[in-house]
Structure 1
Amino acid sequence: MDARVRDLINQQINKELYSAYLYMDIADYYEEEGLKGYANYYMIQAQEERDHALIFRNYLHENGEKVVLDAIAKPDKVLDSFMGPLEIALEHEQYVTALINGIYEAALEAKDFRCQTFLQWFITEQLEEEDNAEDMITKMKLFGGDPKGLYALDTEYAARAYSVPSPLAAK
């Protein structure tokens, strides 16, 4: 495996673990504000991000590469409104998309076709993640200012259930 691709994937493992921390922090904010549905949504997001780290970890091991774990930074975002965490989440997903695209670009330059194929799942996943984040912002803008609307949204997000990502389910 190309050293740059390997290093970027190792960095991505740590970025995904940071994402899990960030989403747990957001879940805690909503939990403490009494929005248990939003808290549920973001706890599932945290689980998915941890799973993404494991998928990258497995890929490195399957290719005979060493995994290097770094310290995970504490989330430093100020959470002080119901809309704020949603905007932070969208911004973060856009950042993660850029990271995935950077790994893909390095794999393309290295002619690492296996890695390019592997990354297709993440490219599709990031499209979904950004779409979901944008949808949550839109719904909060439309309905979040009304207590009944906010209650309905919270109930919707409380119904979200975790499912194992297909690359892990195949293991």
Structure 2
Amino acid sequence: MLSKKIQKGLSAQLNHEFYSAYLYLAMSAYCNHSDFNGAANWLKMQYEEEHMHATKIYNYLVEQGVHISLKEIAKPPKNFGTLLNVFQMSLEHEQMMTARLNDLSDLALKEKDHATYNLLQWFVNEQVEEESSVNEIISKIKLVKGDGYGLLMIDNELHQRATPAPIN
């Protein structure tokens, strides 16, 4: 049985994961509208991955017998500026998610909830990959310094991202 603090923390994280998916879908739509179709694809795949993250937490809560009460999802921005701005906002968001997951992991340890701690370690490790991927994209965009041909090449590379594998 999960403590009330853990239930509250995981429920909040569930909402944050759904917001992450919603944010990435908004970013994808913005990039599509801006004719950065490769970036739009990359961000749409990120949306799908974040949705799977939310589902992983949802399933854990269900398995633990928690009565889930879904909260309202905040409206994401609709304008993101340059392609560099899009990915810088993505990085800031991922860093915020990392901090939240670290805090929740600390709470699980404090509550001596090792099952939840183990679940959260999967997410903590996933965040390393998330931040690294976005940092790499930002570095490439900065490298081309706004050059149209360079941005086109990066956009073409981003289009290669495949649908994420299902999460257990």
TM-score by length of 2: 0.95
Deviating beyond 3 angstroms after TM superposition, the runs of 4 or more aligned structure 1 residues are: none
**What is the root-mean-square deviation of aligned Cα atoms in Å?**
1.2
| 2:59 paired with 1:58 | yes
Residue in 1 that maps onto 2:23: 22
- Unaligned 5+ segments in structure 2 are none
Q: C-alpha displacement at 1:144, in angstroms? A: 5.2
Residue in 2 that maps onto 1:143: 144
Residue in 1 that maps onto 2:10: 9
1:36-67 CA deviation, whole Å, 9 max, x = no partner?
00000000111111111100000011111121
- Which amino acid in 1 is paired with 2:157? E
- Unaligned 5+ segments in structure 1 are none
1:138-157 CA deviation, whole Å, 9 max, x = no partner?
11000252222111111111
Counting aligned pairs with the same residue, the percent is 38
TM-score by length of 1: 0.93
2-side partners of 1:13 and 1:140: how far apart?
A: 31
2-side partners of 1:88 and 1:76: how far apart?
A: 11
Residue in 2 that maps onto 1:116: 117
Residue in 1 that maps onto 2:158: 157
Equivalent residues in 2 for 1:21-170 (5 A)?
21-76=22-77, 78-143=79-144, 145-167=146-168
